Amino acid sequence: MSKEKVIQIDSAVIDGHERIRLFFSYDREVIELIRSLPGARWQPVMKCWHVAMALGPAEKLNYRFREKLVFIPRELSSGGRSDKDKETVSPYVKVPEEFIKTMKLKDYSLRTLKSYSSMLQLFMNYYQPRPLDELTDEDIREYLLYVVDKKKVSQSYQNQAINAIKFYYEQVLGRPTQTYYLQRPKRESTLPSVLSEAEVLRLLKQVKNLKHKTALSLIYSSGLRVGELINMKISDIDSSRSQIRICQGKGKKDRVSLLSPNILKLLRDYYKEYRPKVWLFEGQFGGQYSAGSVQAVFRAAKSAAGITKKATVHTLRHSFATHLLERGTDLRYIQALLGHQSVRTTEIYTHVTEKGFKKIVSPFDNLEL
């Protein structure tokens, strides 16, 4: 890679944190280098990669990637900042303090707080310098149309944007719901990606680091979400009852899940080597392990295992549920283990299980051609 690979950088507040944004033309080699930075993430609305401020400034990044990449502050680049991108006019605009306080008083999770703040911040940037309380219902609909038509974001993202805007106008400003109407986008009816038991085994065998192997194995063996894994404490392991406690999972619900004998043995080996103090999985310098680290471990293992199908860490949770169903576990038990509020959510796994599917004979097979 030549030194002419130029990355434009600036700073912006994303998910409540000031981050360095990276702008460059699509290049697979550049993306792989950026991914090597701790906590590097893609922002679909801003169409850029972003990393922690601690990794900057440009001089520091240039030294790190010398002979490979050149980082230039965006305002110094020939193109400058695009006036057409209304969402990046002022990356430093802050959401109203009352918005944050109201969410905290309502005991919203930190993840929701960050997500809603980011969504409202983008909405404010689109219309700034106009004050939020002067915007009309038509303004709100115009912004949502812009997000859908121009930014091409997912329907899940659209719903999050609507929720954040509704929260501000209804919960903070006290506007009655009937004063504006937002058409909710229909959710896509998609089936979860699932790995076969052989693929899960192949993937886990590629993980040589004991901490990494234990983390991915625990997610699969108990059907955990990534957030539930990194929030788990040593005291949540109940070996006497062969259970693990998931405290304040999604929706602030507690539940228990399986603790298999094999995962218990792996956990004991892991504990002897790493000696975590509070959190079951801790970072190199203490504190909670990061979700980004778990996801990076999964991507590396998936690549090493030669698995080409679309899959993420969450696929291990889907695979756990599907494999239980294929082995004859009652759907109601799977619902409880996953922490689903409605069995209808759990029923989606009946559409991806191979149990009984292979016994169905196509009518074409009865034809004598």
Q: Write the DSSP assignment of 293-340 as a string of letters.
A: HHHHHHHHHHHHTT--S---HHHHHHHHHHHHHHTT--HHHHHHHHT-
The residues that bridge with 73 in the sheet, in sequence order, are 9
Query: 97-105 and 155-167 are packed helices; what angle lies between their axes, rounded to 10 degrees?
Result: 100
Mean pLDDT of 294-309: 92
CATH code (residue 261): 1.10.443.10
The parent domain of residue 40 ranges over 6-81
- State percent of the chain over pLDDT 90: 26
Query: Is the predicted pLDDT of residue 48 greater than 50, yes or no?
Result: yes
Q: What is the pLDDT of residues 91-135, one digit of tens each?
A: 456 788 899 999 999 888 877 888 888 889 888 888 888 888 888
Mean pLDDT of 137-154: 81
Is 314 catalytic? The answer is yes
**233 phi, psi to nearest 5 deg:** -105, 160
- Structural domain total, the chain: 3
Where a domain ends, among 24, 46, 81?
A: 81
Question: Minimum mean pLDDT among 136-140, 219-223, 250-254: which range?
Answer: 250-254
Separation CA 306–CA 336 (nearest Å):
33
19, 74, 317, 318: which one is catalytic? 317
74, 225, 302, 318: which one is catalytic? 225
pLDDT grade, residue 149 (50/70/90)? confident
Query: Is the predicted pLDDT of residue 79 greater than 50, yes or no?
Result: no
- Output the CA torsion 207→213→218→221 (10° steps): 40
> What is 39-70 written as a DSSP string?
T-EEETTTTEEEEEGGG-SHHHHHHHTTTT-E
Question: What global pTM score does this model have?
Answer: 0.60
Mean pLDDT of the chain: 81
3-state DSSP call for residue 8? strand
Separation CA 171–CA 160 (nearest Å):
16
Does some domain include residue 219?
yes
CA 106 to chain centre: 23
Does some domain include residue 365?
no
Is 340 catalytic? The answer is yes
User: What is the model's pLDDT at position 80?
Assistant: 39
User: What is the model's pLDDT at position 90?
Assistant: 44
- State percent of the chain over pLDDT 70: 82
250, 255, 274, 299: which one is catalytic? 250
Same domain, 151 and 67: no
Q: Which residue has the tokens 């006036």?
A: 83
Is 302 catalytic? The answer is no
Is 175 catalytic? The answer is no
Is 225 catalytic? The answer is yes
Same domain, 335 and 231: yes
**43 phi, psi to nearest 5 deg:** -105, 110
**Residue 188 in tokens:** 């896509």
Query: Is the predicted pLDDT of residue 182 greater than 80, yes or no?
Result: no
User: What is the model's pLDDT at position 82?
Assistant: 43
**Residue 121 in tokens:** 């911040």
pLDDT grade, residue 245 (50/70/90)? very high
User: What is the model's pLDDT at position 185?
Assistant: 56
Same domain, 294 and 231: yes
Same domain, 27 and 173: no
User: What is the model's pLDDT at position 331?
Assistant: 86
Alpha helices in the chain (DSSP H): 28-35, 58-64, 97-105, 110-127, 137-149, 155-167, 197-205, 210-222, 226-230, 261-274, 291-304, 313-326, 331-338, 343-346
**351 phi, psi to nearest 5 deg:** -85, -15
Q: What is the pLDDT of residues 187-238, one digit of tens each?
A: 556 678 899 999 999 999 999 999 999 999 999 999 999 989 999 999 999 9
